[in-house]
A = this chain, B = another copy of it.
Amino acid sequence: MPSEEPKPRRRQARGERRIASLLQAAANVFCTSGYTAASTNAIAREASVSPGTLYQYFPNKEAIAVELSERLLHQMRETHGQAFTPANLALPLDRMLDAVLDPFIAFNVENPAFLALMHGSEPIPGQIAEEHDALHASLLTRVESLLGHYLPDTPAAERHQVAEMTFALFKAGLDLVMTHEGAERDAYVTELKRALFRYLDPLIGDAAHPAESGIHTP
């Protein structure tokens, strides 16, 4: 039987440049219109290229989004590894939040297409949704094990719940950060960290000093 790739299509340097240009154009269009509303003709126009040229490099619209997603997910995984460093996890909570959140915030600010493709409520192609779910699960596991480090005696179900809530709160703040610029954006970054700190700190405090628990929680 033939190899997995029966199309070892020879690409010229020009072609690679076109692909990069098309993906950049697609990122812009997806970002402003969302996946479904983005038309392939609009992507081609954004890249100053004819529709036919676009379809020389991508078999269909979905393949454009998939390729773009894979490149973004790859960068995201690098950010992921760079954020959850053992050194970072040993920091006190406020410093740890700085160290972990800043790379993720920076990534999303520099690649707004990522959220447009992953966080969109519209019907996204199945393959991208799967990859997004895998990333989500991976991040959740990280946060859970991080919580487990502080709270070894908390049942797994509760840890999972706290991790989901933490992640959801982060995404909410991230949206707020990304819809502002300059000084306002910075202010929302610190406000987001403050919110997460206040949410998580009592957990740790309670674990360290169980006698104080239950003051604020009915």
A contact set with B: CB distance below 8 Å: 33-34, 36-37, 94, 116, 119-123, 161-162, 164-165, 168-169, 171-173, 175-176, 184, 187-188, 191-192, 194-195, 197-199, 201-202, 216-218
- B-side contacts of A199, CB under 8 Å: 194-195, 198-199
Query: How long is the Cα–Cα vector from A119 to B120 in the complex, in angstroms?
Result: 10
The 8 closest A-B pairs by CB, nearest first: A172-B172, A168-B172, A198-B198, A195-B199, A168-B176, A165-B191, A198-B199, A120-B121
Complex Cα gap A188–B161 (Å)? 7
Is the CB–CB distance between B94 and A216 below 8 Å? yes
Q: Enumerate 20 A-B pairs (CB-CB under 8 Å) in ascending A order.
A: A34-B121, A34-B123, A36-B36, A36-B37, A37-B123, A116-B121, A120-B122, A121-B122, A161-B191, A164-B176, A165-B176, A165-B192, A168-B176, A172-B172, A194-B199, A195-B195, A195-B199, A197-B217, A198-B201, A198-B216
